[in-house]
Amino acid sequence: VYGRIPLSSPPVGSAAAWPLRVGVRRGIRRLLRAAGRVDVLHLRMADVGSLAAADVARELGIPTVFTVAPDPHSVIASLERSGTLTRKDFGPVDLTEHFWFRTHLVQSLAASAAHSVFFPRPQLERDMRALVGIDMSSHPERHTVVAEGVDLEVVDRAVARARQVAAGDEPVGALAELAALLDALPAERRRLPLLVTVGRMHRIKGMATLVRAWADGPLADAANLLVIGGDLEHPSLDEREQLDRIRAALPPAQHAARGLLLTGHRSNDVAAEWLAAARFGLPGRAAPGGVYVCASLKEEFGLAILEAMATGLLVVAPDSGGPATYVDDDDTGFLTETADPAKLATATERALARAGGADDGAAERARDLVAERFTIQGMAAKLAPVYESVAHSEAELQRAAELLV
């Protein structure tokens, strides 16, 4: 059940959304009161929504669970590593991005939560201590590591449909829509495989960085690029910033001729079929052996990467954060410093060369990994006891308080 919080102001960029806190808080309060009994509130991001929701939770006596991620800590580290952020220019950048405030918001939300949830990372305890200041060895009963999960039924249906079309069936539904998009490309480009990326049209997700890395080198001659995400008709400020950068890298008049397809947002099931089609190809429109590319500056977990792996696609992903815990570098994918366009392009070239070669079983290994460790059922099985424990502890505290009174 989705609850929508109406806002009277027009959409703004995420970094400029803090003045909306009062209206968001009012909307969340109304929503929670209308819902009746609420046992636990799970806050997932250190943004204006979570800040407002934490205020309401304290007011209504609802315990919170907070998913702790080193954000913006990981973004700062990635930008610093790539040389695009230094101590000298941190102040002016922080005036826009509010890094300093957001780091303290993460600490505040974690400190006030009844339980903390963490995404897997290669050096989780070290990173939490160094970046966020959380010692996970202190009160370990209040900390749980939970990976996100993929709905494999959706992915497996998508793979089955893509196989049928690759074998000669006429594309229908989502695959017919993709076929129409590819038909708009020049005939010579319809013999190339697809690079695909899915996500928000936001600078953190690196969509414009990927377009630049693809357009500026030999990648554009080796593959077409399919970018899924964003509202292209009525873009937000964040989306407009990325679209402007994409236009600067490749003018819209050249998109079709060069093989760039910007599709805007698509539902999860449509995106799954398009990912599967990138693997198997669409006869006469796209060659098999496509690759999924995540160009995010940081990816705390990377659900879209896992969905791509579940379809059997080779992936290119950030070499830090969550993806490094499940992408087997140089086997099921390639890990790289995604903030650097040159390194991103090199990793993508390697992935394309590997995907176009002989079948070595990497697709099956990737799908098996997701089935064993990263299903939505597995995620629910780990989160449910956390919620039950928090709700039970809160009920015990209330009973104890009543006895004291």
* pLDDT, averaged across the chain: 92
Residue in 260, 313, 318 with CA at minimum distance from that of residue 291:
313
Q: Which tokens in the block code for residue 149? A: 């999960």
Count CB neighbours of 163 within 10 A. 14
Count CB neighbours of 110 within 10 A. 22
What is the rounded CA–CA span in Å between residue 317 and residue 334?
6
**Can you tell me the mean pLDDT for 350-375?**
92
Rounded to the nearest 10°, the torsion over CA 309, 342, 212, 218 is -90
What is the rounded CA–CA span in Å between residue 348 and residue 337?
12
What confidence score (pLDDT) does residue 8 get?
74
pLDDT at position 236 over 80: yes
**Can you tell me the mean pLDDT for 232-258?**
94
Amino acid at 368: D
pLDDT at position 325 over 80: yes
What confidence score (pLDDT) does residue 270 get?
97
What percentage of the chain exceeds 90 in pLDDT?
Answer: 70
pLDDT at position 404 over 80: no
pLDDT at position 171 over 90: yes
Query: Between 56 and 360, whose confidence is greater?
Result: 56
Terminal Cα-to-Cα distance of the chain (whole angstroms): 37
What confidence score (pLDDT) does residue 59 get?
95
pLDDT at position 162 over 90: yes
What is the rounded CA–CA span in Å between residue 234 and residue 380?
35
* Global pTM exceeds 0.85: yes
pLDDT level of residue 405 (50, 70, 90 thresholds):
low
pLDDT level of residue 6 (50, 70, 90 thresholds):
confident
What is the rounded CA–CA span in Å between residue 200 and residue 206?
9
Domains in the chain, start-ordered, CATH in brackets? Answer: 17-147+376-404 (3.40.50.2000), 152-373 (3.40.50.2000)
What is the rounded CA–CA span in Å between residue 246 and residue 130?
35
Q: List, for residues 175-215, the tens digit of each pLDDT value.
A: 999 999 999 999 999 999 999 999 999 988 999 999 999 99
What confidence score (pLDDT) does residue 284 get?
95
**Can you tell me the mean pLDDT for 245-253?**
96
The most confident of the ranges 51-60, 123-132, 137-146, 234-243 is 51-60
Query: Between 401 and 405, whose confidence is greater?
Result: 401
Rounded to the nearest 10°, the torsion over CA 45, 103, 374, 265 is 50
pLDDT level of residue 122 (50, 70, 90 thresholds):
confident
What percentage of the chain exceeds 70 in pLDDT?
Answer: 99
What is the rounded CA–CA span in Å between residue 298 and residue 79?
10
pLDDT at position 99 over 70: yes
Comparing 262-266, 357-361, 364-368, 381-385, the range with the smallest average pLDDT is: 357-361
